[in-house]
Chains A and B, each alone.
Chain A
Amino acid sequence: MTGATLLFLIIGLGLIAWFFGRLKAAGMQSGGKHSRSALHSLPNYHGWYVALWAILPAAIFLAVWSFASPALITDAALTSPAAAQLPQDAFARAAILSEARAIASGNQVNAFNPLSQSMVEPYRDAITYYQMIGTVAALLLVFACGVYAWLQIKPDLRARTKIERVTMLVLLLASLIAIVTTVGIFLSLVFESVRFFSMVSPIDFLFGTEWNPKAVAGPRGETGFGAIPLFWGTVFIGAIIAMIVAIPLGLMSAIYLTQYAPAKFRSWMKPILEVLAGVPTVVYGYFAALTVAPALRDFAVSIGISNASSESALAAGVVMGIMIIPFVSSMADDSIAAVPSAMRDGSLAMGATQSETIKKVLIPAALPGVVGGVLLAVSRAIGETMIVVMAAGLAANMTANPFSSVTTVTTQIVQLLTGDQEFDSPKTLAAFALGLVLFIVTLLLNLIALRVVKKYREAYE
């Protein structure tokens, strides 16, 4: 019996347990139609109580068993006479064993290695044996725990309280999954980065100015992993060019929407801006690579910049800025709207004009929130990948010329990890180190931004 079938069987039994639990509890309900029930909890809760007792321990057992049984099966298979012929070399041995297992469990038809074929029989026996043990034990657990819970049903059993507690635990688990996954990703980045830094010195990586990972074919410690050009390219595109575009435009659009726009215009303009924030970045990437970049190059050539590249920092940065505008605008909008209207009235009542009120009262009061929003926008921009991959180019130049091609951390991660790669060469591992740096920087930016925004919110509450 496969795991999935068994699980469905257990759930089916759980439903039966629910029925019996409810039946017993309902039988204890005494009194007439409107008299208060003798039961502490409604019969339904008793039903769930029995059902959960029947399902949960068996399900937990199955989960543990599915982790533990493969090792037990291999051990059992190795005690068979056929195992004596296996090679001593651990690597070859493992290859044969995994092949035999694949055939035994029906995932593979023919053996590549004849030795594997001889191991199939012992494997098949071991698998059948342990599967049977698992199935029987799980079903026994269902019955034992179900009957135990069923016997527990008494009028004063606090079934409802217990069900609530289980519900709470399930919700807690759900909320932990995202966090645990993030921590797992972070740890994997750290481990791979440690491997990378055992091959390339962190100093060379963080402060080296030459990025040419293909050159690492030579002895250990060879340079070519200086990431400064990448960091510069990321900052140049994401934090400088994109923000020069996004901050003024986003802020002005927020000011117009909150202060000047008629309610009707605002009511359809704001949703449109928010929809723009959901356009896939690859679409902006097309736009950057096929429309903006050639136009900018032609413009640069026409004003006499001869070395203008068709893939330029400016094209990627400008399009990224446009992509970020709705984000900045929406954050600034929220901050300006959070300034109490008494502040605005106070200024208007002094005889200030609307634009004086905005410049001298609203913007200063909303500034911390706007700054927080901008920091969040920067953190989004430096993590952005598609636009720079399509429009910024691959040349790791250290240049402040916006018409030349630069490369970013995210672009290089894509370059390092796409195609056939060995997963233990420094070239591949460098991607993890870059990822780690990016992760830490964006995390810090987000932390600072959220703190700034929070502090500002408190000031007006």
Chain B
Amino acid sequence: MNYDQKILEPNESVNMTDSATTAMNTESGTPKMTARHVDVFYGDKQAINDVSIDVNMDSVTAFIGPSGCGKSTFLRCMNRMNDTIPIARVTGEIKLEGEDIYASQMDVVQLRARVGMVFQKPNPFPKSIYDNIAYGPRIHGLATGKEELDEIVESSLQRAGLWGEVKDRLDDSGTALSGGQQQRLCIARAIAVDPEVILMDEPCSALDPIATAKIEELIHELRGKYAIVIVTHNMQQAARVSQKTAFFHLGTLVEYGETTDIFTNPREEKTRDYITGRYG
């Protein structure tokens, strides 16, 4: 703990990220989501310490770091899923297209429709494949009739690359699919409400390599249509799917930059140590 604080003063880290993000903004337009000086507490314990980061529309952003470093916690702040944990407290500022998502006039239901989420373990509802996809459009009233809903279901499944596999059995239970198909179903379900940002919390950690490859391919295809943030333990995966990488350690953001830079030429020694497998 002391060691970490010594080499990484909070101010230092902020200055670094601010300069880094400003540099990137000039390259890729205005950021979709911005976070400034975010702290997260679980009761008395601080899980996130002064994190500032920008997420861009046209790139996939990967959060990497050892277990317990706060990357999932930070991800869950971005669509306020931490609200479901009574003892969690978030300070600082997170904006979606300039709107503060923690402001009192922000409707959390609207927010989550705009910032979708895919979880670590596939969690389809115990309903039919069709109803799983139609769930979001129905609660948000996105379709006016049966045909429109059918269209949304088909296009969502097509975008998730699942349509060909399930089009003849839309009435089967979503839980009857294989693990990889279930995860793509969950991605299709998130797409169906037409979000702007998709947050993925270790979406492949429960899947085999083939299913993982399919999800990664899907992430490639979805890039540009949605701002994607992916949390992963797997550094090769981060290198494969992302354009931007953020390295978290013990609740602080150590380094954030172009994925190629992070993996080939990291500025921070800690990042280098983690990427080369010296600890983590």
Which residue numbers of A lie inside 8 Å of B, CB to CB?
A: 262-263, 340, 342-353, 356, 360-361, 364-365, 459
A350-B135, A353-B109 given as contacts; is B119 within 8 A of A343 (CB)? no
CB-CB under 8 A from A263, the residues of chain B are: 86
CB-CB under 8 A from B86, the residues of chain A are: 262-263
B110 within 8 A of A: yes
**CB <8 Å contact, A351 and B113:** yes
**CB <8 Å contact, B84 and A350:** no
**CB <8 Å contact, A348 and B193:** no
Among residues of A, the one whose C-beta sits closest to the C-beta of B137 is A350
Chain B 83-111 interface residues, beta-carbon cutoff 8 Å to A: 84, 86, 109-111
Among residues of A, the one whose C-beta sits closest to the C-beta of B81 is A349
**CB <8 Å contact, A346 and B123:** yes
Expressed in whole angstroms, the minimum distance between the Cβ of A358 and any Cβ of chain B is 12
Could you say which of A348, A356, A365 contacts B125, with CB atoms under 8 Å apart?
Answer: A365
**CB <8 Å contact, A348 and B139:** no
A364 to B116, CA, bound (A): 23
B57 within 8 A of A: no
Chain B 65-86 interface residues, beta-carbon cutoff 8 Å to A: 79, 81, 84, 86
**CB <8 Å contact, A351 and B119:** no
State the 9 A-B residue pairs at the shortest beta-carbon distance, nearest first.
Answer: A351-B113, A342-B123, A351-B112, A349-B117, A346-B123, A350-B136, A351-B109, A352-B139, A365-B126
CB-CB under 8 A from A348, the residues of chain B are: 81, 84, 112
A365 to B123, CA, bound (A): 12
CB-CB under 8 A from B193, the residues of chain A are: 350-351
A262-B86, A342-B119 given as contacts; is B139 within 8 A of A349 (CB)? no
Most chain B CB neighbours (cut-off 10 Å) among A262, A340, A349, A364: A349
CB-CB under 8 A from B123, the residues of chain A are: 340, 342-343, 345-346
A343 to B119, CA, bound (A): 10
Chain B 188-210 interface residues, beta-carbon cutoff 8 Å to A: 189-190, 193
Chain B 134-159 interface residues, beta-carbon cutoff 8 Å to A: 135-136, 139-140
A353 to B109, CA, bound (A): 6
B215 within 8 A of A: no
**CB <8 Å contact, A346 and B112:** no
**CB <8 Å contact, A350 and B127:** no
**CB <8 Å contact, A347 and B79:** no
**CB <8 Å contact, B125 and A345:** no
A343-B125, A361-B125, A364-B127 given as contacts; is B112 within 8 A of A356 (CB)? no
What are 12 contact pairs spanning A and B, CB under 8 A? A344-B84, A346-B124, A346-B189, A347-B135, A349-B117, A350-B112, A350-B136, A350-B139, A350-B193, A365-B125, A365-B126, A459-B126
Expressed in whole angstroms, the minimum distance between the Cβ of A256 and any Cβ of chain B is 16
B186 within 8 A of A: yes
Among residues of A, the one whose C-beta sits closest to the C-beta of B127 is A364
